[in-house]
Structure 1
Amino acid sequence: MEPPRGGRPWWSGRGLADRVRDWVRTSPGTHIWLLIIGVTSLVIASASEGLGQFLVHRTSSNIHELNEHPLPSLLISGFWIERPESFLLYAVMFELLHANVERWVGTWRWLLIVGGAHVAATLASQELVLLAIEGHQLPRSMTHVVDIGVSYGLAAAAGVLTYRLPPPWRYVYLVAVLVFFGIPLTTGATFTDFGHAIALVMGFAAWPLTPAAAVADAAEPEAGQSP
């Protein structure tokens, strides 16, 4: 695995503090995002049950909020998780997925990939909810369904990370990811499961934004030349 752009490998520091500093320095977006989620999780954890429910619904990117506050709801919903006790799990996932992708493709490309996937998956999944409501398959109360969290961005990062791994680990990882996100789609899928699938596909489609694509293009023989 090649070192991240613009810096030495994180493991080359002289001590643990140096290694941690290098890791955070080369994935600033991941750790700023994680810090904000930590703060909002503390807010939810310390709030009363009524206030917590209000905040969770108010910051959701559900149909009601998208109609009332489209841009703020899309942005704010990506900084909250419904269960604060899950924060440590999300922190691990951020380090494994987001940090590795950000270090590899760069902060701005990482942000474009995961931000675009979050927006697209949210809009598509809520459109499915709307169609189900109009078709009388879901109650109208689903316009206020809780739809917050960072899982769509994580799904997109999981897709991109496929190209970071060398064979044969790439194929083992790919199968594991497809199984993880595919099983819910075949066993009573929810709108969230469809959103995860959409975000994962967008992660796979982000191949041209990765350094691996640039390396592959450079390795191709020029037109008119034999390989």
Structure 2
Amino acid sequence: MVQPAARVQRSAEAVLAYVRDAPGTYAWLIILLVNKIILDQFSPRFRYHFVLHHSTNLRELSHQPVQVLISSALWLDGGHWWPYLILYSTFHAPVERWLGTGRWLAVIVIAHVGATYLSQSVVYYNIRHGTAPPSAAFIPDIGVSYALAGAEGVLAYLITAPWRYLYAATLVIYYGAALLSDRTFTDVGHFAALLLGFACYPLARGRTGAWDPLVSLRSAWRRLRSG
């Protein structure tokens, strides 16, 4: 029987090893946390104008595209930070550990930039055809969800068949349902980012099919039974 103190130490060492193997993911999380703490100190009016200035809307993309594409991925548009800790640990960290930091970064850049321009193209089209007011070019658009959807997409190639197809279908249904029901530009962006994640298969070639959920569950069950 493993002593409680030894079990805690072993668990802590496993967590630290997990974090060390995904340095980009957890550095990003720290930046998001620090920036959120800073932004929360200011008034709602200041926060709104700050977010607007760092948004990847049509106006900002036409004036300072590189700056806002970078800065928009470093801030959270409201809400709590801790859900992102869970989501990043569940999706970004496994992708980074599996592909390596360089390829992981390539995936999130492709998803973030590609989905941003595709979604804002919808806004531009709607403005040009009169189905959206000109003020739509100034709608705030900030956050990390496009990159997250891209990471979720490419993660499908880590999972062995047939679970890979079940996982991918679940993602398509989740993001597709939002797209069909709401049809906002952000829904377009999320679905596009997911597809871009799927399209990053060349970055995952040679590293596919490494994780079998059933094997992991059996291993976890044996560890629990052995104490």
TM-score when normalising by structure 2:
0.84
Contact map agreement 2:160 2:208 (CA 8 A) in 1: no
Q: Name the structure 2 match of 1:55.
A: 50
Identity, in percent, stands at 38
Detail structure 1 runs of 4+ shifted over 4 Å in the superposition: 211-216
Residue matched to 1:94? 88
The CA deviation string for residues 64-106 of structure 1, in whole angstroms up to 9 with x for no partner, is: 11112111011100111111x3321111111100000000000
Match in the other structure for 1:7: none
Displacement after TM superposition at 1:130 (Å): 1.0
Give 2:183's match in structure 1, choosing from 189, 194, 197: 189
Instruction: Quote the Cα distance in structure 2 between the aligned partners of 1:39 and 1:211.
Output: 36
- The answer as to 2:10 corresponding to 1:40 is no
Letter in 2 for 1:37: L
Aligned to 2:16: 21
Q: 1:206 to 1:170 in 2, by over 3 A?
A: same
2:196 corresponds to 1:198: no
Q: Which residue does the alignment assign to 1:136?
A: 130
- Aligned partners of 2:158 and 2:209 also within 8 Å: no
* 1:208 Cα deviation from its structure 2 partner: 1.6
**1:155/1:199 contact within 8 Å kept:** yes
- 1:163-211 Cα offsets, whole Å, 9 max, x none, are 1112332222122111111101211311111111111111111112115
Consecutive unaligned residues of structure 1, counting only runs of 5 or more, are: 1-12, 217-227
Aligned to 1:71: 66
Any conservation in 1 of the 2:160–2:209 contact (CA below 8 Å)? no
Q: Is the 8 A contact 2:115 2:146 kept in 1?
A: yes
Shift of 1:33: 0.8
Residue segments in structure 2 that go unaligned for 5+ positions in a row: 1-7, 211-227
Q: In 2, are the aligned partners of 1:207 and 1:213 still within 8 Å (CA)? A: no
Aligned length: 203
Give the CA deviation at 1:134: 1.1
The equivalent of 1:8 in structure 2 is: none
Deviation at 1:128, TM superposition (A): 1.1
TM-score relative to the length of structure 1: 0.84
